[in-house]
Structure 1
C-alpha cells in the first residue's frame, strides 16, 4: 500500500514545478481618479514571464480586515494599449488594505490574488 501511494505522490511532487510555471502572474498599478475612492488600475498579466494578450478576467475587491462586509461586484478588465496590460476601474467603499481577486477565464482558467493598500492622497 505504501509503495502504491509513493509513486503517485512522487509524480505529483515532480510535476508541481511545471504546474507552478504555468500559473498566471499579475502586477498592479493604481492611480486615484477625480472622484474620491475611485481608482484607475492597470493589471500587467503574464505567464512564464510572457505578457498575456487577449485574456478575459474580472477583478473582485474585498477587504481582509472586514471579510464580506463590502459587497463590490466584480469588474471586468479591458485590454489596454500595451499587450498584457488591462485597465480596471475600481470604486471602493473606504481606504485601507484590500485584496483583489482576479478570476481569469481565458485563455486558461486561474485565480490570482493581489494584496494592495489604497491610501488617501
Structure 2
C-alpha cells in the first residue's frame, strides 16, 4: 500500500514541482560608499522571467542578526528577465541576497554575492 501511495504521489508531483526560478546577481559599486546597483537576472527553464515582482534583502551570513537592512523592491529593466535594485550595505564582505517573489508565483531565492573593495574613488 505504501508503494502505491508513493507511486501516485510521484505521478502527480511534477506539476507541483515545476522547474524552479533561478537567479543570478551582478552588483556594481556606485559613487556612494557601500552603495551598490545590482542587476538580477531571473530565468525559468532557460527562459527569462518577465513580470516578476520581488524584494531584495541583503544579509551577512557570517554575522547573523548584526545587520538589519530593510528589503528594497526590484524594478524591471529594459532587458527581459533582468531587474535592478539599489542596496546600501553596512560593510564589505560575503552577503546573501534573499529575493522574495510575489509574481509570477510566491517563491524565495537566496543568492550569494561577495561585495569587495573594488569601489570607485569616493
Alignment TM-score, normalising by the size of structure 2: 0.87
The whole-number CA distance in structure 1 between the counterparts of 2:71 and 2:97 is: 10
Between 87-96 and 20-29, the greater mean CA deviation after superposition? 20-29
**Structure 1: which 5+ runs fail to align?**
none
The whole-number CA distance in structure 1 between the counterparts of 2:114 and 2:79 is: 25
2:60 equivalent in structure 1: 63
User: Are the aligned partners of 1:30 and 1:40 in contact in 2 as well (CA < 8 Å)?
Assistant: yes
User: Are the aligned partners of 1:99 and 1:115 in contact in 2 as well (CA < 8 Å)?
Assistant: yes
Alignment TM-score, normalising by the size of structure 1: 0.88
2:73 equivalent in structure 1: 76
1:100 equivalent in structure 2: 97
**Structure 2: which 5+ runs fail to align?**
none
2:5 equivalent in structure 1: 8
| Distance apart, 1:11 and its partner CA | 4.1
Aligned residue pair count = 118
The whole-number CA distance in structure 2 between the counterparts of 1:117 and 1:15 is: 40
SS in 1 for 2:42: strand
The whole-number CA distance in structure 2 between the counterparts of 1:64 and 1:15 is: 36
The whole-number CA distance in structure 2 between the counterparts of 1:93 and 1:75 is: 15
Runs of 4+ in 1 over 2 A off after TM superposition: 5-22
Larger proportion of helix: 1
